[in-house]
Amino acid sequence: MPVLSNFSIPRKSTGAESENLIPLIPTSPTDDEENQDLLREFTCKRNPDQKRSATYTLKIPPLKNPKPEKLLEILELVEEAWKGQAIVTAEDRAHFLEQLMGESERTTFRNALPIDGTITDTGLERAIEILKKTIFPHNAARLQKKALRGNGFRKRL
């Protein structure tokens, strides 16, 4: 693919003076630019136990058809928001997470929660793990964890 440049390259074979190059600037907005409008803002405290703690705004993108890498980033931001807003019960955490989800992710998440309606910490963790398994390709989560531990993807001599 040609390199972006404002310069022209002279053609030798056809006698034409110059050939315009294809610009590398995207003509359509990227996924990140489209999601900027959809970001949800949450005001969090540095130390939620204190009344006059410093606050900051945390922006979290929606969980609508995320890529596996994006899912992990979003879940880290969600955990930070839970801490910053002092959300401690499993039911409140599940409700907070459902607000960010798309329809298919929400259905998967709700089906993974306990049937009796009482949400515990282990039930919430199980539902998040099932959500990860539906978004991650088969076996990708295990391979990624293995690579992060330093045991995977090394060529042996």
Per-residue model confidence as pLDDT tens digits over 32-70: 555 566 788 888 888 888 888 888 888 988 888 888 788
Structural domains in the chain (count): 1
| pTM for the whole structure | 0.62
> What range does the domain containing 40 cover?
31-149
Per-residue model confidence as pLDDT tens digits over 123-156: 999 999 988 888 877 666 677 777 777 655 555 5
Q: 128 with 150: CB under 8 angstroms?
A: no
Cα 119 from Cα 98, distance rounded (Å): 13
